[in-house]
A and B are shown apart, each in its own frame.
Chain A
Amino acid sequence: MNIIVLAKHAPDPESEIRVGEDGKSVDERGLVWDINDWDRYAIEEAIQIKENKGGEVVVVGVGEACEDTLRKCLAMGADRAIKIPYNSTLDAYRTAEVIKEAIKDENFDLIMAGYQSQDLNNALVGSLLAGMLELPFATAVTSVEVEDSSIRVRRELEGGYNEEVVLPLPCLITVQSGINEPRYVSIMGIKRAKTKELKEVALQPTSSTLEVERMYLPPVKKAEMIEGSADEVAKKLIEIFKERGLIG
């Protein structure tokens, strides 16, 4: 089974997120970058399938700085990597088109991506790519079972429900977080990764489907904040609980 995994190098939303000076972008200072959390689960799932069924895992990254993430995937067990040095934007449509072009000569049975990116949360590139390649697909997958010429997957619905569907190969899935336990990168893995192929494919979209007009902090109604040392805070909280009759 030959698998293509889409892995995004993305800022951690837990890092310091500020609006840039132009009012249209995120301030790069304070951002901590790593492999997109959902893609970490996707690459792990792909490597597990390869370990059980054989074949090849090719990881595709978008962005000038995506090499760290590609190397990490290679160190985890991917066989080779394709880097598209295009800094993707909120325009998921164009990103999907660029990826489609970059993998046009690849021979694959399955494409896997994370359900969404941890920074832009569009949850689009994977499913748009499936549409463009006319592949059957499923999103937010929580388990994968490989059959002869198909895969049987569960996808997450709302309220704790899942849905079981069967997809003939070739197909595309986007993976929900929690599907597996992503492995840590070993020293041996890092060494081996250095010898693996990392090919660059220079592609740029020629137009856009949307433009950012403004980026800003969301207007929020703020909670009443309780300040003080830990024991003062605890005391106040207990008072509130007592006033409300929540505790005796």
Chain B
Amino acid sequence: MRVFAVAEHRMGELNPISVELLNLANAIKKDSSEALLLGRDVKGFADELAKFADKVWVIQDESLEFFNPESYADVLIQFFANNKPDVVLLPNTSFGMELAPLLAVKLNAPIATDVVGVDVSDGIKVSKYIFQGKLMVDLKLNETETYVLTIRQGVFKEGKEVGGDVEELSLKPAEPKRKFIQYIEPEVGEVDITQADILVTVGRGIDDASNIELAEELAEMLGGVVAGSRPVIDNGWLPKDRQVGISGKTVKPKLYLGLAVSGAFQHVMGMKDSELIVAINKDPEAPIFGVAHYGVVGDIFEIVPELIEQLSKSKG
């Protein structure tokens, strides 16, 4: 079984998930783990990948400088014509989630996304979360020649070095219909939530823009600032630069206090390394309690005013 991992890089940086894919490839391979590195001037990443792969294929072309699902899929399909893949692994990121479905269609392969477990003892079985982290499911993929999987980041961090060789190939994609124009930098706001020691983070359960004030008041008493999870930003209750999560900012405050934050994976990845995590949520099954050090099942509209009152008393 040949397991291929498609490496991800952007703006001159290799995404560490590329190595995580190879760790998984090494764990499930029967023949080889092979990295696919596409881009322009990316040869520098090949040595790092070669530590963890039996083989690294480097395919460089100026048209591959910026990711484009059409060009990348086209080149990979040309490559796979001579190197039949059994499993193709991609990161479950903005990159992999555009490339993987296109490959699945072109390879006529079953696809599973956001995979956190792979079992190859009897065909291919994968595990993944559904309902935004509240349930898990094991799926058996129908037996076929090739499988395409996108892998959740941070799951396959452990692995051994393999030490493989690097081979360069020259393949040209057809002209894509979609055109890359430019990257847009993140918005910069007044408050930098990544620098705060104490972060009061509000979630969907804050219910209304007017309730942000309550969080602001608590944050002020604690000497911290207010951040939000995705639904709060989507509703316009807090500006985009206050968003914690994969598509927002990664924070590591001394105290993360989550108010009615449910704890979807994309949020948790942005705050799990905080020194102390305290979460208050009405739902005892909220996934945030899986990452928190201390949890309270309760109503923020009862507990937060009480916190504010006691804090103001203790300050005299």
Indicate whether A and B interact: yes
Q: Could you list which residues of chain A lie within 8 angstroms of chain B, going by C-beta atoms?
A: 11, 13-14, 17, 19, 26, 90, 92-93, 118-124, 127-128, 130-132, 136-140, 152, 154-168, 171, 177-178, 181, 207-218, 220-227, 230-231, 233-235, 237-238, 240-241, 244, 246-248
B178 near A138: Cβ-Cβ < 8 Å: yes
Known: A92-B111, A131-B106. A233 touches B290 (CB 8 A): no
What are 14 A-B contacts with C-beta separation under 8 Å?
Answer: A17-B131, A131-B106, A136-B178, A137-B69, A139-B94, A154-B184, A160-B248, A178-B233, A178-B235, A209-B110, A215-B137, A220-B289, A227-B297, A240-B278
- B294 A223 Cβ-Cβ under 8 A: yes
Q: Across the interface, do A160 and B186 meet the contact criterion of CB distance under 8 Å?
A: yes
Query: CB within 8 A of B114: which of A121, A137, A164, A215?
Result: A121
Q: Is B184's CB under 8 angstroms from A164's CB?
A: yes
CB distance from A54 to the nearest CB of B (A): 24
Q: Which one, B57-65, B81-89, B158-166, B304-312, is touching chain A? A: B304-312
When the two chains form the complex, which single residue of A19, A160, A235, A238 contacts B187, counting CB atoms closer than 8 Å?
A: A160
Considering only residues 42-90 of chain B, those with a C-beta below 8 Å from chain A are 69-70
In the complex, are the beta carbons of B295 and A225 less than 8 A apart? Answer: yes
Contact of B102 among A119, A131, A152, A160 (CB under 8 A): A131
Q: Is the CB of B306 within 8 A of A127?
A: no
B278 close to A161 (CB less than 8 A): no
Contacts A162-B183, A165-B178, A246-B222; A217 near B135 (Cβ below 8 A): yes
Q: Are B98 and A138 in contact (CB under 8 A)?
A: yes
Tell me whether B30 is interfacial, beta carbon within 8 Å.
no
Q: Which residues of A contact B314 (CB under 8 A)?
A: 238
Greatest chain A CB density within 10 A among B130, B230, B240, B299 is at: B130
Neighbouring A residues of B211 by C-beta, 8 Å: none
Task: Please give the distance in Å from B174's CB to the nearest CB on chain A.
Answer: 12
- Cβ contact within 8 Å between A137 and B178: yes
CB <8 Å contact, A241 and B247: no
Given A93-B110, A215-B137, CB of A139 within 8 Å of CB of B98: yes
Say yes or no: A156-B94 contact (C-beta < 8 A), given A225-B297, A230-B303. Answer: yes
Question: Of residues B141, B142, B177, B291, which shows the largest number of chain A Cβ atoms within 10 Å of its Cβ?
Answer: B177
* A181→B180 CA distance, assembly (Å): 27
Whether B70 pairs with A136 at a CB distance below 8 angstroms is yes
Contacts of B230 in A (CB 8 A): 177-178
- Known contacts A131-B101, A165-B178; is A240 also within 8 Å of B294 by CB? yes
Residue of chain A at shortest CB distance from B99 = A127
- Cβ-defined contact, B247 with A156, below 8 A: yes
| Cα of A224 to Cα of B180 in the assembled complex, Å | 48
**Is B184 in contact with A162, judged by CB distance below 8 angstroms?**
yes
Q: Does B9 contact A (CB under 8 A)?
A: no
Inter-chain contact A160/B179, CB cutoff 8 Å: no
- A26 to B139, Cβ gap below 8 A? no
A231 and B306 contact, Cβ closer than 8 Å, known pairs A178-B233, A211-B139, A211-B142? yes
On chain A, the residues within 8 Å of B102 by CB distance are: 127, 130-131
The reply to whether B125 and A213 contact each other, CB–CB distance below 8 Å, is yes
B19 at the interface (CB under 8 A from A): no
Asked whether B177 lies within 8 Å of A124 as measured between CB atoms, the reply is: no
Contact of A221 among B231, B249, B290 (CB under 8 A): B290
Name B209-267 residues within 8 Å CB distance of A: 222-223, 230-231, 233-236, 240-241, 243, 246-250, 254-255, 262
Contact flag A90-B139 (CB < 8 Å), given A155-B94, A165-B180, A178-B233 = yes
* Chain A residues whose CB sits within 8 angstroms of the CB of B186 once the complex forms: 159-161
Q: CB within 8 Å of A: which of B135-171?
A: 135-142, 144
The answer for the CA separation of A247 and B310 in the assembled complex, in Å, is 13
Q: A13-B132, A213-B125, A215-B137 are in contact. Are A246 and B98 (CB under 8 A)?
A: no
